[in-house]
Structure 1
Protein backbone atom coordinates (compact mmCIF):
# COMPACT_ATOMS: atom_id res chain seq x y z
CA UNK A 1 0.00 0.00 0.00
CA UNK A 2 1.36 3.41 -0.96
CA UNK A 3 0.61 6.47 1.15
CA UNK A 4 -0.07 9.57 -0.93
CA UNK A 5 -2.15 12.73 -0.55
CA UNK A 6 -5.39 13.95 -2.04
CA UNK A 7 -5.88 17.66 -1.57
CA UNK A 8 -3.37 17.60 1.27
CA UNK A 9 -5.20 14.80 3.08
CA UNK A 10 -3.74 11.32 3.55
CA UNK A 11 -4.86 8.66 1.08
CA UNK A 12 -3.73 5.13 0.34
CA UNK A 13 -3.60 2.95 -2.71
CA UNK A 14 -4.33 -0.78 -2.83
CA UNK A 15 -0.68 -1.61 -3.48
CA UNK A 16 2.62 -0.46 -4.90
CA UNK A 17 3.63 0.23 -8.49
CA UNK A 18 5.33 -2.71 -10.20
CA UNK A 19 9.11 -2.73 -9.74
CA UNK A 20 11.62 -1.33 -12.22
CA UNK A 21 13.41 -4.01 -14.29
CA UNK A 22 10.43 -6.36 -14.14
CA UNK A 23 8.07 -7.31 -16.94
CA UNK A 24 4.97 -5.14 -16.91
CA UNK A 25 1.80 -7.04 -15.99
CA UNK A 26 -0.51 -7.57 -18.93
CA UNK A 27 -3.89 -5.85 -18.76
CA UNK A 28 -7.20 -5.57 -20.56
CA UNK A 29 -8.69 -2.11 -20.93
CA UNK A 30 -11.47 -0.55 -23.00
CA UNK A 31 -10.77 1.70 -25.98
CA UNK A 32 -12.94 4.63 -27.05
CA UNK A 33 -14.79 2.40 -29.55
CA UNK A 34 -15.59 0.02 -26.65
CA UNK A 35 -13.27 -2.67 -27.99
CA UNK A 36 -10.81 -4.38 -25.68
CA UNK A 37 -7.06 -3.89 -25.83
CA UNK A 38 -4.25 -5.50 -23.87
CA UNK A 39 -0.64 -4.58 -23.21
CA UNK A 40 0.45 -7.40 -25.50
CA UNK A 41 -1.11 -5.44 -28.41
CA UNK A 42 1.78 -2.96 -28.04
CA UNK A 43 4.52 -5.59 -28.17
CA UNK A 44 7.77 -4.28 -29.66
CA UNK A 45 6.98 -0.64 -28.88
CA UNK A 46 8.01 1.64 -26.07
CA UNK A 47 5.00 2.49 -23.92
CA UNK A 48 4.16 5.23 -21.44
CA UNK A 49 1.25 4.53 -19.10
CA UNK A 50 -0.10 7.93 -18.06
CA UNK A 51 -2.45 6.94 -15.23
CA UNK A 52 -4.80 9.41 -13.54
CA UNK A 53 -8.15 9.78 -11.70
CA UNK A 54 -10.28 11.57 -14.33
CA UNK A 55 -9.77 13.54 -17.51
CA UNK A 56 -12.41 15.96 -16.17
CA UNK A 57 -9.94 17.46 -13.69
CA UNK A 58 -7.44 20.17 -14.59
CA UNK A 59 -4.22 18.33 -13.77
CA UNK A 60 -5.33 15.13 -15.50
CA UNK A 61 -6.35 17.05 -18.61
CA UNK A 62 -3.02 18.88 -18.61
CA UNK A 63 -1.10 15.58 -18.44
CA UNK A 64 -2.98 14.28 -21.49
CA UNK A 65 -2.28 17.53 -23.40
CA UNK A 66 1.42 17.47 -22.42
CA UNK A 67 1.95 13.84 -23.42
CA UNK A 68 -0.05 14.40 -26.62
CA UNK A 69 2.37 17.17 -27.58
CA UNK A 70 5.45 15.12 -26.67
CA UNK A 71 4.19 11.91 -28.27
CA UNK A 72 4.14 13.49 -31.70
CA UNK A 73 7.95 13.70 -31.50
CA UNK A 74 8.57 10.07 -30.49
CA UNK A 75 9.19 7.11 -32.75
CA UNK A 76 8.01 3.58 -31.92
CA UNK A 77 6.32 4.88 -28.77
CA UNK A 78 2.72 4.71 -27.59
CA UNK A 79 1.31 6.93 -24.87
CA UNK A 80 -1.61 5.24 -23.13
CA UNK A 81 -3.72 7.55 -20.97
CA UNK A 82 -5.55 5.37 -18.46
CA UNK A 83 -8.39 6.30 -16.11
CA UNK A 84 -11.76 4.93 -15.03
CA UNK A 85 -13.55 7.57 -17.10
CA UNK A 86 -16.15 6.17 -19.45
CA UNK A 87 -14.87 5.93 -23.03
CA UNK A 88 -17.57 8.45 -24.05
CA UNK A 89 -16.07 11.11 -21.76
CA UNK A 90 -12.57 10.32 -23.00
CA UNK A 91 -13.70 10.67 -26.63
CA UNK A 92 -15.51 13.94 -25.90
CA UNK A 93 -12.40 15.38 -24.23
CA UNK A 94 -10.06 14.35 -27.06
CA UNK A 95 -12.41 15.76 -29.69
CA UNK A 96 -12.77 19.08 -27.89
CA UNK A 97 -9.02 19.35 -27.28
CA UNK A 98 -7.74 18.06 -30.63
CA UNK A 99 -5.91 15.18 -28.92
CA UNK A 100 -4.63 12.76 -31.57
CA UNK A 101 -1.25 11.41 -30.45
CA UNK A 102 -2.24 9.43 -27.35
CA UNK A 103 -4.62 6.55 -26.80
CA UNK A 104 -7.29 6.91 -24.14
CA UNK A 105 -8.08 3.68 -22.30
CA UNK A 106 -10.58 2.96 -19.55
CA UNK A 107 -10.48 0.61 -16.56
CA UNK A 108 -14.20 1.13 -15.90
CA UNK A 109 -15.36 -2.44 -16.59
CA UNK A 110 -13.46 -4.45 -14.01
CA UNK A 111 -11.02 -2.17 -12.21
CA UNK A 112 -8.46 -4.95 -12.56
CA UNK A 113 -5.79 -2.62 -13.99
CA UNK A 114 -5.91 -0.43 -10.88
CA UNK A 115 -5.64 -3.50 -8.67
CA UNK A 116 -2.88 -5.22 -10.68
CA UNK A 117 -0.74 -2.08 -10.95
CA UNK A 118 -1.44 -1.09 -7.33
CA UNK A 119 -2.69 2.38 -8.27
CA UNK A 120 -6.37 2.26 -7.28
CA UNK A 121 -7.22 4.43 -4.30
CA UNK A 122 -8.08 2.19 -1.33
CA UNK A 123 -9.77 5.02 0.57
CA UNK A 124 -10.54 8.77 0.45
CA UNK A 125 -13.05 10.61 -1.71
CA UNK A 126 -11.34 9.04 -4.77
CA UNK A 127 -11.76 5.45 -3.52
CA UNK A 128 -11.46 3.03 -6.49
CA UNK A 129 -10.27 5.74 -8.92
CA UNK A 130 -6.69 5.53 -10.20
CA UNK A 131 -3.91 7.54 -8.55
CA UNK A 132 -1.72 9.76 -10.70
CA UNK A 133 1.18 7.60 -11.82
CA UNK A 134 3.56 7.05 -14.72
CA UNK A 135 4.97 3.70 -15.83
CA UNK A 136 7.44 3.62 -18.75
CA UNK A 137 8.20 0.39 -20.62
CA UNK A 138 10.94 -0.37 -23.09
CA UNK A 139 10.19 -2.24 -26.33
CA UNK A 140 10.66 -5.57 -24.50
CA UNK A 141 7.89 -4.76 -22.00
CA UNK A 142 10.34 -4.17 -19.14
CA UNK A 143 9.53 -1.39 -16.69
CA UNK A 144 12.27 1.24 -16.91
CA UNK A 145 10.70 4.13 -14.96
CA UNK A 146 7.86 4.65 -12.50
CA UNK A 147 6.44 7.57 -10.59
CA UNK A 148 3.49 7.76 -8.26
CA UNK A 149 2.79 11.43 -7.70
CA UNK A 150 2.73 12.07 -3.95
CA UNK A 151 0.10 14.84 -4.07
CA UNK A 152 -2.64 13.90 -6.52
CA UNK A 153 -3.16 17.54 -7.53
CA UNK A 154 0.46 17.79 -8.75
CA UNK A 155 1.63 16.96 -12.27
CA UNK A 156 3.93 14.05 -12.97
CA UNK A 157 7.57 14.60 -13.89
CA UNK A 158 7.20 14.57 -17.69
CA UNK A 159 10.89 15.20 -18.22
CA UNK A 160 11.95 12.11 -16.23
CA UNK A 161 9.49 9.89 -18.11
CA UNK A 162 10.63 11.19 -21.50
CA UNK A 163 14.30 10.86 -20.51
CA UNK A 164 13.70 7.23 -19.59
CA UNK A 165 12.23 6.69 -23.08
CA UNK A 166 15.23 8.27 -24.77
CA UNK A 167 17.61 6.10 -22.77
CA UNK A 168 15.69 2.89 -23.54
Structure 2
Protein backbone atom coordinates (compact mmCIF):
# COMPACT_ATOMS: atom_id res chain seq x y z
CA UNK A 1 0.00 0.00 0.00
CA UNK A 2 1.23 3.49 -0.85
CA UNK A 3 2.46 5.86 1.80
CA UNK A 4 -0.12 8.28 3.19
CA UNK A 5 1.08 11.74 4.18
CA UNK A 6 -1.56 13.09 6.59
CA UNK A 7 -1.81 16.88 6.83
CA UNK A 8 0.61 17.22 3.89
CA UNK A 9 -1.44 20.11 2.51
CA UNK A 10 -4.65 22.04 3.00
CA UNK A 11 -7.75 22.98 1.03
CA UNK A 12 -8.96 26.38 2.24
CA UNK A 13 -7.11 25.73 5.49
CA UNK A 14 -8.57 22.24 6.04
CA UNK A 15 -5.98 19.43 6.24
CA UNK A 16 -5.82 16.88 3.43
CA UNK A 17 -3.88 13.63 3.05
CA UNK A 18 -1.66 12.97 0.06
CA UNK A 19 -1.07 9.41 -1.12
CA UNK A 20 2.37 8.44 -2.39
CA UNK A 21 5.91 9.40 -1.50
CA UNK A 22 7.13 12.96 -1.91
CA UNK A 23 9.56 13.18 -4.82
CA UNK A 24 12.71 15.28 -4.53
CA UNK A 25 15.19 17.00 -6.84
CA UNK A 26 17.62 14.37 -8.08
CA UNK A 27 15.06 11.54 -8.05
CA UNK A 28 14.37 9.61 -11.23
CA UNK A 29 10.84 10.50 -12.32
CA UNK A 30 8.42 7.57 -12.13
CA UNK A 31 7.04 6.37 -15.45
CA UNK A 32 3.34 6.91 -16.05
CA UNK A 33 0.54 5.96 -18.37
CA UNK A 34 -2.08 8.69 -18.73
CA UNK A 35 -5.03 9.08 -21.06
CA UNK A 36 -4.95 11.49 -24.01
CA UNK A 37 -8.45 10.33 -24.93
CA UNK A 38 -10.68 7.52 -23.70
CA UNK A 39 -8.58 4.99 -25.64
CA UNK A 40 -5.24 6.67 -26.43
CA UNK A 41 -2.57 6.84 -23.75
CA UNK A 42 0.77 8.57 -23.28
CA UNK A 43 3.72 7.60 -21.11
CA UNK A 44 6.87 9.34 -19.98
CA UNK A 45 8.82 7.57 -22.75
CA UNK A 46 6.66 9.33 -25.38
CA UNK A 47 8.54 12.50 -24.47
CA UNK A 48 12.03 10.94 -24.43
CA UNK A 49 14.88 13.38 -24.95
CA UNK A 50 12.73 16.40 -24.15
CA UNK A 51 12.73 18.63 -21.10
CA UNK A 52 9.37 18.21 -19.41
CA UNK A 53 7.45 20.63 -17.21
CA UNK A 54 4.59 18.71 -15.59
CA UNK A 55 1.91 21.03 -14.27
CA UNK A 56 -0.47 19.12 -12.00
CA UNK A 57 -3.90 20.64 -11.34
CA UNK A 58 -6.99 19.42 -9.45
CA UNK A 59 -9.44 20.42 -12.23
CA UNK A 60 -9.22 22.69 -15.26
CA UNK A 61 -12.71 23.99 -14.44
CA UNK A 62 -11.53 25.96 -11.41
CA UNK A 63 -10.08 29.45 -11.37
CA UNK A 64 -6.51 28.79 -10.23
CA UNK A 65 -6.14 25.69 -12.44
CA UNK A 66 -7.48 27.66 -15.40
CA UNK A 67 -4.99 30.49 -14.78
CA UNK A 68 -2.11 28.08 -14.19
CA UNK A 69 -2.72 26.21 -17.44
CA UNK A 70 -3.17 29.42 -19.46
CA UNK A 71 0.08 30.82 -18.02
CA UNK A 72 2.10 27.73 -18.94
CA UNK A 73 0.47 27.72 -22.40
CA UNK A 74 1.79 31.28 -22.90
CA UNK A 75 5.27 30.25 -21.75
CA UNK A 76 5.33 27.09 -23.87
CA UNK A 77 5.79 29.01 -27.11
CA UNK A 78 8.86 30.78 -25.74
CA UNK A 79 10.74 27.71 -24.50
CA UNK A 80 11.58 25.99 -27.80
CA UNK A 81 10.91 22.65 -29.44
CA UNK A 82 12.96 20.66 -26.92
CA UNK A 83 10.51 21.46 -24.11
CA UNK A 84 7.07 19.94 -23.57
CA UNK A 85 4.58 21.16 -20.99
CA UNK A 86 2.20 18.51 -19.72
CA UNK A 87 -0.88 19.42 -17.71
CA UNK A 88 -2.16 16.49 -15.66
CA UNK A 89 -5.53 16.29 -13.91
CA UNK A 90 -8.24 13.72 -13.29
CA UNK A 91 -10.65 15.58 -15.57
CA UNK A 92 -12.01 13.31 -18.31
CA UNK A 93 -10.05 13.66 -21.57
CA UNK A 94 -13.15 15.04 -23.33
CA UNK A 95 -13.53 17.72 -20.66
CA UNK A 96 -9.84 18.60 -21.02
CA UNK A 97 -10.21 18.91 -24.80
CA UNK A 98 -13.37 21.01 -24.47
CA UNK A 99 -11.69 23.30 -21.92
CA UNK A 100 -8.59 23.74 -24.13
CA UNK A 101 -10.77 24.59 -27.12
CA UNK A 102 -12.79 27.16 -25.18
CA UNK A 103 -9.66 28.66 -23.59
CA UNK A 104 -7.59 28.70 -26.80
CA UNK A 105 -4.94 26.56 -25.09
CA UNK A 106 -3.00 24.78 -27.81
CA UNK A 107 0.65 24.51 -26.69
CA UNK A 108 0.38 22.40 -23.55
CA UNK A 109 -0.48 18.71 -23.66
CA UNK A 110 -3.35 17.72 -21.37
CA UNK A 111 -3.29 14.23 -19.92
CA UNK A 112 -5.80 12.55 -17.63
CA UNK A 113 -5.22 10.31 -14.61
CA UNK A 114 -8.97 9.59 -14.30
CA UNK A 115 -8.80 5.81 -14.78
CA UNK A 116 -6.28 4.61 -12.21
CA UNK A 117 -4.95 7.63 -10.32
CA UNK A 118 -1.56 5.87 -10.69
CA UNK A 119 0.24 9.08 -11.68
CA UNK A 120 -1.14 10.75 -8.56
CA UNK A 121 0.14 7.97 -6.37
CA UNK A 122 3.55 7.68 -8.09
CA UNK A 123 4.16 11.44 -7.86
CA UNK A 124 2.75 11.76 -4.33
CA UNK A 125 -0.06 14.12 -5.31
CA UNK A 126 -3.24 12.03 -4.99
CA UNK A 127 -5.60 13.62 -2.47
CA UNK A 128 -7.11 10.78 -0.44
CA UNK A 129 -10.25 12.64 0.59
CA UNK A 130 -11.14 14.01 -2.87
CA UNK A 131 -9.49 11.61 -5.35
CA UNK A 132 -8.15 14.69 -7.15
CA UNK A 133 -4.52 15.62 -7.75
CA UNK A 134 -2.81 18.25 -5.60
CA UNK A 135 -1.46 21.29 -7.38
CA UNK A 136 2.25 20.75 -8.01
CA UNK A 137 5.01 21.31 -10.55
CA UNK A 138 7.75 18.93 -11.68
CA UNK A 139 10.57 19.81 -14.09
CA UNK A 140 12.37 16.82 -15.60
CA UNK A 141 15.54 16.94 -17.65
CA UNK A 142 15.92 15.02 -20.92
CA UNK A 143 16.89 11.90 -18.91
CA UNK A 144 13.79 12.16 -16.67
CA UNK A 145 15.70 13.22 -13.58
CA UNK A 146 13.74 15.69 -11.45
CA UNK A 147 15.43 19.09 -11.52
CA UNK A 148 12.69 21.13 -9.83
CA UNK A 149 9.68 20.23 -7.73
CA UNK A 150 7.01 22.28 -5.99
CA UNK A 151 4.30 20.69 -3.87
CA UNK A 152 1.92 23.45 -2.87
CA UNK A 153 0.90 23.44 0.75
CA UNK A 154 -2.50 25.07 0.04
CA UNK A 155 -4.53 23.86 -2.93
CA UNK A 156 -6.04 27.26 -3.74
CA UNK A 157 -2.66 29.04 -4.13
CA UNK A 158 -0.74 29.55 -7.35
CA UNK A 159 2.59 27.81 -7.95
CA UNK A 160 5.81 29.78 -8.33
CA UNK A 161 5.61 30.20 -12.12
CA UNK A 162 8.87 32.12 -12.39
CA UNK A 163 10.90 29.51 -10.50
CA UNK A 164 9.47 26.68 -12.62
CA UNK A 165 10.18 28.51 -15.90
CA UNK A 166 13.72 29.37 -14.72
CA UNK A 167 14.33 25.69 -13.90
CA UNK A 168 13.32 24.81 -17.47
CA UNK A 169 15.47 27.58 -18.99
CA UNK A 170 18.56 26.29 -17.14
CA UNK A 171 18.12 22.96 -18.96
CA UNK A 172 17.51 24.32 -22.47
Q: TM-score range by the shorter chain?
A: over 0.9
Which residue in the other structure is 1:164 paired with?
A: 167
In the alignment, does 2:143 pair up with 1:137? Answer: no
The CA deviation at 1:43 is 0.6
Tell me how far 1:158 sits from its aligned partner. Answer: 0.6
Deviation at 1:33, TM superposition (A): 6.5
8 Å CA contact 2:73, 2:107 repeated in 1: yes
In 2, are the aligned partners of 1:49 and 1:135 still within 8 Å (CA)?
yes
Equivalent residues of 2:21, 2:122 under 8 A apart = no
Indicate the RMSD between aligned Cα atoms, in angstroms: 1.2
Whole-angstrom CA distance in 1 between matches of 2:46 and 2:38: 16
Is 1:63 the counterpart of 2:63? The answer is no
Instruction: Give the 3-state SS of the residue equivalent to 1:44 in structure 2.
Output: coil
Q: Hey, what's the Cα distance between the residues in 2 that align with 1:114 and 1:93? A: 21
* Residues 1:12 and 2:17 are matched in the alignment: yes
Q: Is the 8 A contact 1:32 1:104 kept in 2?
A: no
TM-score, reference length from structure 2: 0.92
Deviation track 1:31-55 (CA, whole Å, cap 9, x = no partner) reads: 1464110001101000011001100
Superposed CA offset, 1:85-136 (max 9, x none) = 001110111000111100000001111111111100122xxx2110000000
TM-score normalized with structure 1 length: 0.94
Gaps of 5+ in 1: none
Inter-CA distance 63–33: structure 2 relative to 1 (3 Å threshold): same
Within the candidate set 91, 100, 107, 1:85 is matched to 91
**Which position in structure 1 is the counterpart of 2:157?**
154
Q: Is the 8 A contact 1:17 1:146 kept in 2?
A: no
Residues 8-47 of structure 1 correspond to what in structure 2 (within 5 A)?
Answer: 8-32=13-37, 34-47=39-52
CA deviations on 1:1-40 (whole Å, 9 max, x unpaired) are 1611101111120133312112110000001464110001
1:99 matches 2:130:
no
Q: Pick the structure with more strand per residue.
A: 2
Partner Cα distance (2:64, 2:147) in 1: 24
Post-superposition CA distance 1:64-104 (Å, at most 9, x none): 00000000101110000000000111011100011110000
Question: What is the total number of aligned residue pairs between the two structures?
Answer: 165
